Amino acid sequence: MANVSVNATRAILSLGNLGKRAANPRKPLKMIGHYVKELSMQAFQDSEDPLTHKKWKPISPETIRQRRYGKGKRRIKILVDTRTLQRSVHANPPKKTSVTIGTPLVYGRNHQLGSTVPRRRFLGVDREGMIEIQRIMRKYLETGK
């Protein structure tokens, strides 16, 4: 008769740590919040939708005239003329299983959704971003870091 004995103690302890990490994912959620905020900052810099990577619709001639009034002839960049909206984007402290990235400014919602102005989405995560989010979560579950 031949036998093999397997001691599962180490595997069980490892799974216990995995369970503890999975039950409290605030650390990776904070990292994910920071990452998604950076994606938004890149959208402002590139003037493009973070999901489709299509350029935002140009500013109307009327808006350009209004913005240049009394300010000389300067180039106006979409959504970053004053940087108020861009600076308002933040990641809220993580909740138990989620993190929210957004802006409290009403006109930010208008641009994000395209309700009263042309849609110029500045919040969102594309496929590559989702892969990075999964990588962050996987690394945390495996290593705690």
Model pLDDT for residues 98-139, shown as the tens digit of each residue: 899 999 999 999 999 998 889 999 999 999 999 999 999 999
Kind plus residue range of the DSSP H or E element containing 28: helix 26-46
Question: Structural domain boundaries of the chain?
Answer: 25-143
Model pLDDT for residues 58-78, shown as the tens digit of each residue: 888 887 777 665 555 566 778
